[in-house]
Structure 1
Amino acid sequence: MLDVVGWVHMSQGRLLAVRARARDRLYLPGGKREPGEDDWTALSREVREELGVRLDRRTFRSLGVVEAPAHDQPPGTRVRMACYTADYEGELAATGEVDEWLYVGPGDEHLLAPAVRAALELTR
């Protein structure tokens, strides 16, 4: 089981998603916790590394946890993703291991990794 955190950010009814290098599906900004990190620390670090923006701790809140098959992993691997929302400061820019960011809307679910599709349900 992969245990990760993800940032769920909506704008005008569309979900912010990123494409990591060499990946064919879109993911939520976020990733794995480093040893000793709590969810806030891990997510704020990952979002800063991937998109160059700072999350606002005052608006940080949990949306829930989703489990789904892990995309692009060995068969039977699952992912558990703790999903959070927060406002941000700065200008979004693809950095680090992220090639692009975009907002996806209805009809774009086929572009998303399974856990991101599950996370999208938390916003409805």
Structure 2
Amino acid sequence: MIFKKQVFRADKKVTPLIGIILFFISIFLFIITIPLGFVYGLFYKFFKKGIVGIGEYLLNIAISIDQLGNVTMQHLLNLLWIKKNGYKFGNRDETISSALGRNNKLGTLSYFGKTMDKFLNLIDKNHSLNSIDYYIEPSADVIDKLAWIYIINQRVLLLGSKEQPYYSFPGGKKQKGTSDAMTLQKRIADVLQIELDITTFQFIGIFEAEAEEYKPGILTRTTAYSASFSGVPTAFAETDQIVWLQYKDRDKVSRVDKLIFDFLKKSGRLA
């Protein structure tokens, strides 16, 4: 399959005055247009899909309100719901529930955060954990990486380096303005001297864990792919070495790569 180019654009710098003006314009348009759009949307969904359509429509609105709350309430939530080393609320592309779930996984919820999480669980079991969004736009609290997964005889290829404490999957950080496939193809060509066939890329999954060697609350999010290639994998740098690991070698990789090992083992690909 061929992946469409995914482009992340950095936020444009604006003056405070522009921000204030746009805020009041958006509030004005919200008051004028939302009631009409909401009523029309209810009727439209009802005639298209009945009660189910209305439920879907209201759920989408609830998610949007949740994202708005994550921005407007970020400073208060960061003060009351999480510990100092927690994952921060405030990403405009993320819901409150998603950020709550990330802190739940990290064990960085405060007393108030745990109380809210328990309350939501009464309504919807494992609500915050199931709400974690792995497709949010990049932020300073998330290190976005790519990994190429290559398995032979239930052993997976990783790279080792004297400069790094762990073996790691070939790959690297995502690049703004470049698709995952193109970024990974270039990176793998640099480190292994092979050419990945972009038309054969297969998405494996997105894995997220607390990052090593960074301050607490920083996460590593790895998007993993497999793909066919031409050539013979050869470590380019003299300090690097190619290793073939099994599941028993799980302790030799980073936290996020451990999750990939778990997934590969569970799916029967790794011995």
User: What is the TM-score normalised by the length of structure 1?
Assistant: 0.90
Q: Determine the structure 1 residue equivalent to 2:263.
A: 122
Q: Is residue 113 from structure 1 mapped to residue 249 from structure 2 by the alignment?
A: no
Is the strand fraction higher in 1 or 2?
A: 1
Runs of 4+ in 1 over 6 A off after TM superposition: none
Distance 1:98 1:2 in 2: 24
Task: Count residues in correspondence.
Answer: 124
1:85-124 → structure 2 map (5 Å cutoff) = 85-96=226-237, 99-123=240-264, 124=267
Distance 1:100 1:73, change over 3 A: farther
Judge conservation of contact 2:182–2:198 (CA < 8 Å) in 1: no
Q: Is residue 6 from structure 1 mapped to residue 138 from structure 2 by the alignment?
A: no
Name structure 1 gaps, 5 residues minimum.
Answer: none
SS in structure 1 at match of 2:244:
strand
1:55-74 → structure 2 map (5 Å cutoff) = 55-74=196-215
Is the helix fraction higher in 1 or 2?
A: 2
Q: Determine the structure 2 residue equivalent to 1:16.
A: 157
Judge conservation of contact 1:63–1:122 (CA < 8 Å) in 2: no
User: What is the TM-score normalised by the length of structure 2?
Assistant: 0.43
Judge conservation of contact 1:18–1:98 (CA < 8 Å) in 2: no
Give the structure with higher Rg (CA): 2
Root mean square deviation, CA, Å: 1.7
Listed one character per residue, the Cα deviations across residues 49-95 of structure 1 (whole Å, up to 9, x for unaligned) are: 11111112222110110001212333332101111001121111112
- How far residue 98 of structure 1 moved from its aligned partner, in angstroms, is 6.0
Name structure 2 gaps, 5 residues minimum.
Answer: 1-141
